[in-house]
Structure 1
Amino acid sequence: MTDPSHPVAPASPAAEALATWLSRIEAMHPADIELGLGRLLEVAARLQVASLAMPVITVAGTNGKGSTLRLMTALAEQLGLKVCLYTSPHILHFNERVRLPDGLASDAQLCAAFDQVELARQGHGDEPPVPLTYFEFTTLAALWLFRDSGADLVLLEVGLGGRLDAVNIVDPDVSVVTSVGLDHQDWLGDTREAICAEKCGIARCGTPLVFGEQDWPANLTDCVAQYGAEGVLAGRDFGPHEGLLRLCDGQRIPLPTEVTLGRDNLCTAVQAMTLAGFSLQAHQIAAVAGVTLMGRCEYRRIQGADCWFDVGHNLPAVQRFHDLLADCPGRRHLVFGMMADKPREAVAGVFAEDARAIWYLAAPAIARSASTAALRAVLPADAVAAEYACVADAVHAALSAAIPGDQVVVFGSFHTVAEAWQAVEE
């Protein structure tokens, strides 16, 4: 089974061309996010990517999207299917975002797709080019590559929200909302109910909407009804029961006891695949129980130390990561960095009472990062903590200090994990 999580480093000169394209795309639009599908649909129509010939499963959710998509990809591989996968953000290389049936999209393939999007967004006559954000531009490029890929299944991850997200220009055969929590409140609303309404916007009339969290927002069933979707809800219609996975069609399939990416995510993945028309057997489900995903409670042995990496940046995600961590008989060396707009006090609080903790504070090299002083301010007064100039310095310090029985734990942001991985791979 292939693992798309760790791509091979790209080579020049194609890598240089891709880097140039990505810098150009990033500078095209004054905003990182501009919700709305009108501009996008115009360009998508020119590219003929607003609909795809193969089944499509679109996945939204506050947490669990990446893990559920990884599990669906692995299940599809068990069935011998050709799969396209679009996900974000990437950790080490942009190519991680776009997977084709033969593997991650190459630099040359991505550049060719960007050429096509650029041509399509140009106006006719005196019309100005259609403005596109970075995410919109790259989403269209991925869809253009998927269109003629010959894939049996396309899996799309929502970038933000759902209703107005770029991937929502494509009508899915099955929609999935993995979970609803408080994140991106400035864009999506400050209650679970408001966020639920946005995420359920990927639903389509007469098609299944799988909801993977048993703790439903109060308005979930109303949201499903609003879109005329067929709600398939965890705890009511499917889920684990006495060692079996109960599916909405009445099937009962043995469920692995231990699933690296979470039994809840596996249940959601199997239910969505079944609704998309793919039949799965117990041995195929068992075969993906050990599948991993870069940066999701990921374990690696580095320089003789037990190391764990997690990109979670909201309270439920970090609490889940904490609960999944293996027991630590020694000290926990916590390499911690977050964005300034994320709930750093609540996140730090998950580990704050751990008497074994030694904190290595660092701000990732991005403007939105919380300063090390701001990180230090949310720790208990008696916490053992040091501030570092960069994530790389913090990781190297933690690895140097760790002795047998200790853990090195890197968490708080995609950017923190990315810089940590770059540091240890140099």
Structure 2
Amino acid sequence: MTQDLPQTLPDWLAYCERIHPKTIDMGLDRVREVARRLDDGRGLQPACPVVIVGGTNGKGSTCALLETIYGQAGYRTGLYTSPHLVHFEERCRIDGQIVAADALLPAFADVELARRGAADQPEISLSYFEFTTLAIVLTLARARLDIVILEVGLGGRLDAVNIVEPACSIITSIDIDHIEFLGTDREAIGYEKAGIMRTGRPVIVSDPVPPQSVLDRALEIGADLYRAGRDFHCGGDQQQWNWAGRSRRYAGLAYPALRGANQLVNAAGVLAAVEALHPVLPVTAQAVRNGLALVELPGRFQIVPGQPALVLDVAHNPHSVAALTENLDAMGYYPTTHAVFGAMADKDLPPMFQRINPLIDRWYFCDLPLPRAASAADLAAIWRGTHPRPGVESSLHAGPQAALDAAIAAADPADRIVVFGSFFTVGGVLQNGTPRLDAKHLPA
């Protein structure tokens, strides 16, 4: 029966794209049934504590901080995030390292056999995300880890990772995104995000102003709510910051190595989770300090050394673009800021342009290799409708790398280039490694 299965990870991914009629199919019944069939009914639940991280913005940063702090404390960590920037294997990390493609193949095969079912069981259709999530979580469940961190892909209540029982949940900042699936306002979206809470288990809400629906859901099911500004607090000056929770305090902390003022909100929520899990996973203050200093995450206000300055950021909705704008504004003066931009057609694009327009002097719109991506021409038309400053020019390009090449060619050494709008935009310029931007300015 296994002879007809794909033999390589690219073959498996291509197969997963073909077997379900919908790219996104909300619901847990099919995923739960396949999970029930796995490992002789033992399913996917790891034997160690699990943290599920949901929210609109800040999930990836929160996961990276958790992974690094617990790794520095000596624990074996497992991490699942999505989407990836360049290679699919980036979605699964064990002990801080991206797993090899071959290490995922046994779990893909087992999920497929469970999906097909035994003779008396019906075959179950899974979407690409559902199938790959099951395979990665199964890989982590078999890895004998001390903690597993799972990032929600979309929403929370009906996301595939929510079939796993968390010891702790984290809800990061909430904003309007994926309205066709989650709702048109923060209250509706907050209700979906709150679906990762569990009765009697800690849930960290790091959003400083969470929707009421999140707070109501915690009260309704009896979750142990850790709320920013009530159960944990942070503050600081230009050099260091302090954090205080229910029973623990940290003073004189270095700011997270991840750039951007919004990272302090994420880090504060992470420390609340560390406090909540302390009875089962003790962490020293030194591990916290080391984790904050050593954390890395490509594509989150990532500044690439060289001239002109290059900023890579996966900001792809109004809230994250607002944070990107504030961070760019804090960088100081640049004669010209060039923007490489590609995005999905379902994003709320006008507010994104309106927020960042004052900082951008030249736009390079690019196509992306996905059916649901907006074309460069459509992006340019929407941008023109937001009434940018007079004299700001734009151009159209076949992909992110072509757009970046054009920006590099036009930029002076003192200028700045920002690449944003989607994981696929940033990933497109990282396909061949981190760009070197000073080559054209070196002496011949």
* TM-score in terms of structure 2 length: 0.88
Deviates more, 1:82-91 or 1:256-265: 256-265
CA distance in 2, matches of 1:148, 1:50: 9
Superposed counterparts of 1:167-178, under 5 Å: 167-178=161-172
Indicate yes or no: 2:390 matched with 1:396.
Answer: no
- Summarize deviations over 1:102-147 as a string: whole Å, max 9, x none: 7222111111110111111112225431111111111111121112
Matched, 1:284 2:275: no
- 2:83 pairs with 1:89: yes
Distance in 2 (alpha carbons) for counterparts of 1:201 and 1:249: 27
Could you tell me which amino acid in structure 1 is paired with residue 352 of structure 2?
V
Is 2:214 the counterpart of 1:216?
no
Amino acid corresponding to residue 245 of structure 1 in structure 2: W
2: distance between equivalents of 1:287 and 1:102?
14
Residue 160 of structure 1: CA displacement?
0.6
2:374 aligns with one of 354, 364, 370: 370
Distance 1:92 1:314 in 2: 21
Where does residue 79 of structure 1 map in the other structure? 73
Aligned-pair CA distance for 1:359: 0.8
Asked if residue 41 in structure 1 is aligned to residue 35 in structure 2, the reply is no
1:338 equivalent among 343, 350, 354: 343
Residue 369 of structure 2 aligns with an amino acid whose one-letter code is A
Residue 213 to residue 403, structure 1, CA distance change in 2 (3 Å) = same
| Identity value in percent | 38
Given that 2:250 and 2:285 are in contact with CA atoms closer than 8 Å, whether structure 1 keeps it comes out as no
Aligned residues: 410
Contact 2:71–2:95, Cα closer than 8 Å, also in 1: no
Deviation string, structure 1 residues 354-412 (Cα, Å, up to 9, x no partner): 3x611111111211121222222223264211112222211111112222221111001
2:22 corresponding residue in structure 1:
31
* Aligned residue type for 2:232: F
In structure 2, the residue corresponding to 1:219 is in which secondary structure?
helix
Question: How big is each residue's C-alpha offset from its partner over 1:37-59, in whole Å with a ceiling of 9 and x where there is no partner?
Answer: 11111111121234221011000
TM-superposed CA distance for 1:72, in Å, is 0.6
**Aligned equivalent of 1:275:** 276
Distance of aligned partners of 1:128 and 1:66 in 2 relative to their CA distance in 1, 3 Å threshold: same
Letter in 2 for 1:299: I
- Cα RMSD over matched residues? 2.0
On the 8 A contact 1:101/1:149 being kept in 2, the answer is: no
1:300 aligns with 2:304: yes
How far the C-alpha of 1:250 sits from its partner, in A, is: 4.8
Q: Deviations over 1:212-259 (max 9, x none)?
A: 011121233211112220110011111204542011225344332465
Structure 1: unaligned runs, 5 residues or longer: 1-14
TM-score, normalised relative to structure 1: 0.91
In 1: Cα distance, 2:36 partner to 2:150 partner: 18
1:315 aligned partner:
318
Q: Structure 1 residues 188 and 121, CA, compared in 2 at 3 Å: closer, same or farther?
A: same
- Of 279-288 and 133-142, deviating more is 279-288
Which residues of 2 match residues 41-80 of structure 1 at below 5 A? 41-47=32-38, 48-80=42-74
Aligned to 2:425: 416
1:357 aligns with 2:371: no
Answer yes or no: is 1:245 the counterpart of 2:243. Answer: yes
Structure-1 residue corresponding to 2:439: none
